[in-house]
Amino acid sequence: MNISLKGKKAFVGGSSDGIGKAIAKQLAASGASVTLVSRSEAKLKDIIAELPTTEGQTHQYLLVDYTNFEDYALQLEAYLKSNTIDILVNNTQGPSAGNTLEKNISDYQHAFDLLFKTTVFTTELALKNMIKNKWGRIINIASVSVKEPLSYLALSNTIRAAVVTWGKSLATDVGPYQITVNNILTGYFDTNRIAQLNATKAKQLGISETEVRNQMEDKVSLKRIGNPKEYGYLVTFLASANAAYITGTSIPIDGGLLKSL
């Protein structure tokens, strides 16, 4: 199956590293023009230099801090005055780790603004052009923890679940415009985020980070951590015409980590 995204414009959040970076690179490899979004300008410039620029592709980046919603909103509105989005990948950095007893109401508000408020706001603005063109792809990066909560990720468990149910509702509303909305439930992938979480968990448990990773791999049916490239393949398929009849779904990509149906 040959996937071509020629002529499509993709907006990829959190794309300076890890899963976001892998998604951006694969979308570009399939012909899309990509806007990278992150707060690390040096990393964004390096990635831009790596992306292919064939068949009229043009790539750019938007320097934002998702933790400052007011500033992010202004920058996004300015960006959309001269740009449009066909493929929207809603992805940000995750909130801080910790269980429910370690978090207070202000932590939940911060996580809400970071994960939910930015996703809904970005989508609302991007939808204007998608509805006009009667074509669009909205892909929300979520987590397997919305189905099987992880005790040390209380904030992520809670707010990402809201994103998933909102995405399901949105899929119904925008379906008549041939816009698809899908959620991806992320398992364990070899990223800096996983390394940071493992370091925190190792300290809490009084064991080595290597032991934490080994335990993590043992929980996965395939007995390994995912490669971010594999994530990029799934997103690129969902962004393509080949996935035009897939919407309102929550697709795990976890190597068999989830044990529930």
Distance CA 35, CA 9 (A): 8
Contacts within 8 Å (CB) and 24+ apart, 77-84: 77/125, 79/35, 80/125, 80/126, 83/9, 83/35, 84/9, 84/129
Q: Where are the domains of the chain?
A: 9-187+228-253, 189-225
pLDDT value for 71: 96
Q: Is 252 helix (H, G, I), strand (E, B) or coil?
A: strand
pLDDT value for 2: 87
Locate tokens 């809670």: which residue? Answer: 158
Q: Which two tokens stand for residue 122?
A: 């970005």
pLDDT value for 154: 95
Neighbours of 222 (CB within 10 A): 12
Q: Reply yes or no on whether 66 is catalytic.
A: no
- Average pLDDT by stretches of 10, the chain with 261 residues: 94 96 97 96 95 90 95 97 97 91 96 97 98 98 95 94 98 98 97 87 91 95 97 98 98 96 84
pLDDT value for 83: 97
pLDDT value for 54: 85
- Contact status, residue 163 vs residue 115, Cβ threshold 8 Å: yes
Select which of 79, 108, 152, 233 is catalytic.
152
Which residues, 6+ apart, have CB-to-CB distance to 119 below 8 Å? 90, 92, 140, 163, 166
pLDDT value for 201: 85
Helix (H) or strand (E) holding 100: none
Q: CATH number of the domain at 9-187+228-253, please?
A: 3.40.50.720
- Contact status, residue 254 vs residue 188, Cβ threshold 8 Å: yes
Residue 230, CA distances (Å) to 38, 45, 135, 183, 240 in order:
21, 23, 25, 16, 16
